[in-house]
Amino acid sequence: MHAAHRPSLPPTLDKAFDKAFDKRSTMHPTHVLFSGETPPPVLPVVDHYAGSEKQIRKALSLQGEMGPVFDITCDCEDGARAGAEAEHALLCADLINATENRFGRVAARIHDITHPHWRADLDILVGHAGDRLPFVTLPKARSHTDVVEQIAELRRLEAHYAIRRPIPVHVLIETHGALRDVWAIAGLDAVESLDFGIMDFVSAHRGAIPSGAMKSPGQFQHPLLVRAKCDITAAALGSGAVPTHNVCTELKDIERVLTDARRACQEFGFLRMWSIHPNQIAPILEAMRPQFEEVNDAMALLGAAQDQGWGPMQYRDQLHDRASYRYYWHLLQRAHATGMALSTETVDRFFA
């Protein structure tokens, strides 16, 4: 609880208050609703990609205004000129360390495992900015084995540079082999997110999927893409990782971005989506936010459930237990991550 919200108590009641508050803290949803399993990570619902210094600095400025409701990923793969890979990786590391990175939510994508510079990318990023890296994205994995090899190198560099905690990885699923191994990849301890790379995935089919399926409505209708998206979300959600949807290539039609993000979330279960232009961030946030009425229900229900020790209870003439509490807890976390206004009591109870 923030000090400003703590009531002023006589000295004789001060210890009693501390004891009661400590008890409520141990009754937090993350402690009591996930017995025997690890709760999935809570990530900002937008992963904004930027390749050049100008684009990254613009994104940092916008993040400073909006808050940590979106991540920034510095692109060392497509953003680097041929022959200037080391220079670009060092630029990204400097920007990750910059004072403008107020929230520690600036990551990087390295080159794929077939590129001769991927190890150097990791060495530069971990060596110069490892303590501030929220995650590293691994593109174009061809198999579970590829991901294991790159994670092993990441762990070796963390030990070499005395990084204080293991850096999570986000894995792009954009090849036939990665989709085949998607459950094995999702089950790796380091994997925090599975990201769908639709353009490379369509290209890998050598013309069997028409180019129109890279955008809407085809991306949500073509059977091979529907299968891929469902497999990715099922593997991610079943393994405690976050499924992240592919980009929308429309940069000016905000309604299209909003519709794509909403379909990705509501029809396919994606909890996060890539952005490739600042104009896309706000509509993705809007689409990924829970409904206002459900958030109100979540605040009231979870507060009452916590007060009575998370046992079964009635709310609006319906029976609720830990299964529904878990649903509303995930929903409330998403509301908080997207910047929705929550009551002071809810923030004090669950997010202080």
Residue 195 backbone dihedrals phi, psi, to 5 degrees: -110, 135
Question: What letter does residue 46 receive in the DSSP assignment?
Answer: E
* Long-range CB contact pairs, 333-336, < 8 A, 24+: 333/42, 334/42, 334/45, 334/271, 334/288, 334/289, 334/290, 335/289, 335/290, 335/295, 335/298, 336/42
* Alpha carbons 109 and 51: distance in angstroms, whole number: 10
Q: In whole angstroms, what is the distance from residue 283 CA to residue 338 CA?
A: 11
Task: Check residue 24 and give its pLDDT.
Answer: 54
Mean pLDDT value across residues 282-288: 96
> pLDDT band at 4, cuts 50/70/90?
very low
The per-residue DSSP string of 174-218 comes to -SHHHHHTHHHHHTSTTEEEEEE-HHHHHHTTTTSS-GGGGSTTG
Considering only residues 26 and 44, tell me which one the structure prediction assigns the higher pLDDT. 44
Predicted local distance difference test score (pLDDT) of residue 9: 42
Query: Of 148, 139, 107, which Cα lies nearest the Cα of 126?
Result: 107
Structure-token pair, residue 113: 């495992």
- Residue 341 CB neighbour total at 10 angstroms: 10
Closest C-alpha to 134, from 76, 47, 235, 195 = 47
Average pLDDT of the segment spanning 155-180: 98
* Range of lowest pLDDT (8-17, 23-32, 43-52, 136-145): 8-17
**The pLDDT of residue 20 is above 90:** no
Q: Which residue type is seen at 261?
A: A
Q: What token pair was written down for 165? A: 């905690």
| Domain ranges, ordered by start, for the chain | 46-288, 290-352
Evaluate if residue 336 carries a pLDDT over 60.
yes
Measured N-to-C along each axis, helices 322-337 and 292-307 cross at an angle, to the nearest 10 degrees, of: 130
Rounded mean pLDDT, 140-155: 98
What pLDDT band is residue 228 in, cutting at 50, 70 and 90? very high
d(CA 306, CA 24): 8
Number of H helices, E strands in the chain: 15, 10
Q: Return the CA Rg of the chain.
A: 22
pLDDT top residue among 78 and 20: 78
- What pLDDT, on a 0 to 100 scale, did the predictor assign at position 25? 55
Architecture of domain 46-288: Alpha-Beta Barrel (3.20)
Judge whether residue 1 has pLDDT over 50. Answer: no
Average pLDDT in the 252-259 region?
95
Q: Mean pLDDT throughout 125-136?
A: 98
Model confidence at 26, pLDDT cuts 50, 70, 90, reads low
pLDDT number for residue 310: 95
**What is the per-residue pLDDT across 53-106, written as a single tens digit (0 to 9) for each?**
999 999 999 999 999 999 999 999 999 999 999 999 999 999 999 999 999 999
Q: What are phi and psi of 22, to 5 degrees?
A: -60, -40
CB 140 within 8 A of CB 200: yes
> What average pLDDT does this structure show over 191-208?
97
Q: How confident is the model at residue 176 (pLDDT cuts 50, 70, 90)?
A: very high
Q: In this structure, are residues 312 and 319 in contact, taking their beta carbons and an 8 Å threshold?
A: yes
What's residue 330's pLDDT? 93
Cα first-last separation, the chain: 5
How many percent of the chain have pLDDT more than 70? 93
Element (H, E) at 244: strand 242-245
Q: What is the pLDDT of residue 2?
A: 40
Rounded CA separation 95/218 (Å):
37
Q: One-letter amino acid identity for 15?
A: K
